[in-house]
């Protein structure tokens, strides 16, 4: 009788521990059926509770031939780029990214004259 009670008490801890280890093993192994289930569940959640669309205004500043003719051939002095950057931020930009390579020091920089 005592042995049965002891086993029952131990099972209260053993069964949840085994279930937890099995769940952790499945999560670490991440089999394809579990991936599909997780993605389907995510799709269902997004259908039931879709996020509200928020406008995220994006502006692209493109330097065309007219700009190059008016301002001068590329590469521009970094002081000119800094001036342009200040104007963009003053217009309300939160983030600015440059899609150019600044591989070498600015040859027109006042620091280069020293």
Per-position pLDDT tens, the chain of length 114: 677 787 878 888 889 999 999 999 988 888 899 899 999 999 999 999 998 888 878 878 777 888 888 877 777 888 888 898 899 899 888 888 888 776 677 677 666 666
Is 57 a member of any domain?
A: no
Examine the domain organization and report whether 7 and 42 are in the same domain.
Answer: yes
Do 42 and 78 lie in one domain? The reply is no
14: in domain? yes
* Joined tokens for residue 86: 């200040």
Residue 91 lies in a domain: yes
DSSP secondary-structure letter at 92? T
Per the structure, the complete domain to which residue 28 belongs is given by: 2-48
Domain annotation covers residue 74 = yes
Euclidean distance between CA atoms 3 and 66, whole angstroms: 91
Q: Is 111 helix (H, G, I), strand (E, B) or coil?
A: helix
pTM exceeding the 0.95 threshold for the entire prediction: no
């Amino acid at each position: 009788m005592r042995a049965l009670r002891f086993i029952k008490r131990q099972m209260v801890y053993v069964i949840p521990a085994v279930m937890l280890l099995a769940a952790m093993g499945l999560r670490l192994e991440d089999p394809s059926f579990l991936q599909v289930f997780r993605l389907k569940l995510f799709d269902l959640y997004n259908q039931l509770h879709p996020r509200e669309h928020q406008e995220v205004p994006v502006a692209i500043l493109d330097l065309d031939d007219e700009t190059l003719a008016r301002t001068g051939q590329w590469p521009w002095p970094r002081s000119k780029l800094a001036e342009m950057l200040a104007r963009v931020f003053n217009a309300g930009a939160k983030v600015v990214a440059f899609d150019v390579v600044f591989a070498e020091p600015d040859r027109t920089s006042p620091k280069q004259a020293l």
